Amino acid sequence: MTPQPMQAAVATEAVPLEPDSLAYVSAQNRDVPPAGAGEFAPLAIGPLPVWPPVVLAPMAGITNYPFRALCRDFGAGLYVSEMITARALVERNAKTLKLSGFNPDEKPRSLQLYGTDPHYVGEAVAWLVGENRVDHLDMNFGCPVRKVTRKGGGAAIPARPRLLASIVRAAVQNAGDVPVSIKFRLGIDDDIPTFLDAGRVGQEEGCAAVALHARSAAQLYDGEADWDAIGELKQAVTRIPVLGNGDIWEAGDALRMMRHTGCDGVVVGRGCLGRPWLFRDLADVFDGRMPQVPPRFGEIADIMLRHAGLLADWFGERHGVRSFRKQATWYTKGFPGGPELRSRLTQVNSLGDLEAALATADRDLPFPPEAMRMKRGKKAGRQRVALPEGYLEDRWSDAPPGPEAEDPSSGG
């Protein structure tokens, strides 16, 4: 049977624009029209058609089932799990198994795998596929966290192309018909670019797609993403889709990125934190409609309660609500009185506490236009990338860095 493009779990229809709607469109997107009929094709990741061509970025501690479900309610696309460590999966670590779980209603099931050793990656993929647990696998080669790169993992791996190739090969060979994609950064820093080699490795080793976070590991999440590099990767990788990641804060940004670079789809990370309705906006513009005005605080409060409720159902109320605290600060970012409200929200321990805290705010407050591009998630700042001693002296080595490099604490 021919697979059909993915649809949103809850249909949404664009509403007429309010007179102040342009206040929610930044200067760089004022002249960006919605997609024309047939302008963009569905993203094809192996046998999976994805429309609109939008992927939720894997984010540690964030893209669990509750958040994926919430985003899916607002728009169609592909929603990837938080990063799962291959060795911990092979060893059947209880926490890892829980994090790698999907709800029965999730389809397709997309999981991001992190690994530094071809043996454990191959074993993990074989188990996931053999148990029919996934429909798509993504692999993280972009983690810039110091405690990972200093052991030779994460964003350090593409600096050794043969090691990268052996890990990817192990995944693809054990995946069978399940498509595998890889995600990586520009390189270690400005002097050590690795993204073109990584893209070629992905293509030659049988990946279904590659995704570039257009910042270096040294850059972390600082400054602007280099969209020109996404275009350069698209020119070099011609047989499989290329996805772009970086600075998608508004729906118009996604259109600008694809038109500027020629990439086949976009990956959305920090822009949707506290704003899952960004996926509704993206669905609108790719279907030729202008995005809707953001919800007022009352509707946002209802979304927050649903998000926290899903977390409580998934992890238990105490753990679920406590993990929601950081999410609450993103939902309220930019609102008048936000600091005082956020102070209360960071102390909630139950759904009742959360409901009481939200009841103190004005439900009729409009979404603040200046919050559209407010940075969320990781703080700005650059770093000197830590690597194992002598790591760059033997870049053609394919020796795995060792189990201590496998830390699933952050995404790329």
Three-point CA angle 218, 220, 226, nearest 5°? 85
**Active-site entry in 71, 143, 207, 272:** 143
Rounding to the nearest 10 degrees, give the CA dihedral for residues 139, 329, 108, 229.
-40
What stretches of 9-120 adopt beta strand conformation (E)?
A: 43-45, 48-50, 54-56, 78-85, 110-114
Instruction: Annotate 132-196 with DSSP letters as a single string.
Output: T--SEEEEEE----HHHHTTT-GGGGGGSHHHHHHHHHHHHHHHTTS-EEEEEESBSSTTSB-HH
Give the residue carrying structure tokens 């790591």: 391
How far from 352 is each of 61, 70, 174, CA to CA, in Å? 23, 20, 46
**Catalytic residue status for 143:** yes
Three-point CA angle 314, 317, 322, nearest 5°? 100
Q: Which of these, 51, 48, 83, lies nearest to 64 by C-alpha position? A: 83
CA distance 412 to 410: 7
Give the residue carrying structure tokens 């703080």: 379
CA distance 97 to 410: 17
What the block records as the tokens of 355 is 């409901």
What the block records as the tokens of 335 is 């609102």
Is the separation of the CB atoms in 86 and 117 below 8 Å? yes
Residue 315's CB is within 10 A of a number of other CB atoms, namely: 19
CA distance 118 to 286: 38
CA distance 267 to 244: 6
Q: Is 85 helix (H, G, I), strand (E, B) or coil?
A: strand
Write down the H helix ranges in 55-154. Answer: 65-74, 86-90, 94-99, 118-130, 146-149
Residues with active-site annotation = 143
